[in-house]
Amino acid sequence: MPAPLEFFFDFSSPYAYLASHRIGLLARRHGREVRWRPMMLGPAMAATGGKPLVHVPLKGDYARRDLPRTARFHGIPFEMPSLFPQVTLAAARLFYWLEEQAPERAVPFAQSVFKALFVDDQNVADRAVVGRLAAAAGVDEATALAAIDQSDVKEKLKVVTADAVERGVFGSPFIFVDGEPFWGADRLDQIDRWLASGGF
Amino acid sequence: MPAPLEFFFDFSSPYAYLASHRIGLLARRHGREVRWRPMMLGPAMAATGGKPLVHVPLKGDYARRDLPRTARFHGIPFEMPSLFPQVTLAAARLFYWLEEQAPERAVPFAQSVFKALFVDDQNVADRAVVGRLAAAAGVDEATALAAIDQSDVKEKLKVVTADAVERGVFGSPFIFVDGEPFWGADRLDQIDRWLASGGF
């Protein structure tokens, strides 16, 4: 069994949301799985001096035009959130708790977080919202909410983030294919050929 | 006759070089011309706080891997210059002088500047190199070299750059299609569909 694609992202990243709609099918076409790796982009950005795109003059205005256009280009539903960017710490921690407790529910939960944020204009920084998404994914809401503050869950997200930065991740989405790094939703076409031909 | 695509770029931008290999054919497929608009990216970057990619920690290392890979992906010759980035002021000024004096020679000259920088590892900040490229494009070398310091030529480049910043250009390449802005070599596929369907 070939190694899964490693899909690093911050839930608050709209380009990661766009990639999340396409990466599963892409991987399956080549007999691969996707290992979803939500992380906190803040520490990674600290290393590069990066800032959230929408806070940068000119670039932010462009992104607000490019995002819906790119979503239309790929036929992906998208609404720019009213509140942006959002701190997605609780959602990322819950992902790793689910990965331990009910692994088959982790990716559907992650997809529901992206949908809440980039389609349904919800505030996923609000724990009540994240708790409802966990309940919809089939786990007990109160247990899930309590898990957000468990020290092993907090530690897991820190380790994943530190590991990502160590491996050179500075943006979202960031995808490794057999160790080869690809940054950005724009690189899925290269990943497709890379998987087809084992590099180029 | 539909309006030409407006292709803004800094000669020092390797992603603009990659786009320059593809934009002409793309435009012709849709019955369009390309209006090449070399500019100085420095003033545009000042507005966004941007820095040359290769000077950013992590991102620079990634770019040094992504650039040759993206070139291979599209079958474009590419060698990362030993000296990078380069100040491409002289080349940009000469482009506009040629555009006045011998318009049919301006784009071939621009293509030769890109090739000198990103294939033949030459220092295009060196006026002697730019002079030879102008001579190869069919104009008198001494006249071309003198033109670099002509006040009207200097002013033209300043006006183009200021106009680009005014229109929201903050990176390179930056392409307008009937007023719609597209940033990056990665957007040529969207431009292709935009031209085919008049927007999407």
Give the integer Cα–Cα distance in Å for B22 and B191: 11
At B56, phi and psi to the nearest 5? -90, 130
What integer is the mean pLDDT of A45-63?
76
| pLDDT given for residue B46 in this prediction | 74
> Contact, B86 vs B16, CB < 8 A?
no
- Interface residue A48 vs chain B (CB under 8 A): yes
Contacts with A187 from chain B: Cβ below 8 Å: 66
pLDDT, tens digit, for every residue of A70-90?
A: 999 999 999 999 999 889 999
Which of the 8 DSSP states describes residue B148?
A: T
C-alpha span between A80 and A30 (Å, rounded): 32
Spatial neighbors of B197 by CB under 8 A, at least 6 apart, are none
What are the chain B neighbours of A59 within 8 Å (beta carbons)? Answer: 48, 50, 170-171
Q: What is the pLDDT of residue A43?
A: 75
Residues in chain A: 200
> From B44, which residue of chain A is nearest by alpha-carbon distance?
A58
Instruction: Give me B5's structure tokens.
Output: 């695509």
DSSP A9-24: E-TT-HHHHHHHTTHH
Of A38, A136, A148, nearest in space to A90 by CA: A148
pTM: 0.94
SS3 category, A63: helix
**Chain B CB within 8 Å of residue A43 CB:** no
- What is the number of other CB atoms lying within 10 angstroms of the CB of residue B69? 18
CA distance A45 to chain B (A): 10
- The ipTM estimated for the assembled molecules is 0.93
Pairwise CA distance, residues A35 & A176, whole Å = 10
**A57 pLDDT more than 80:** no
Interchain pair A56, B48: CB under 8 A: yes
Burial label for A197, CB within 10 Å (0-12, 13-18, 19+), is exposed
Q: Is A183 close to B66, i.e. CB distance below 8 A?
A: yes
Query: Is pLDDT of A170 > 80?
Result: yes
- Residue range A103-123: average pLDDT? 98
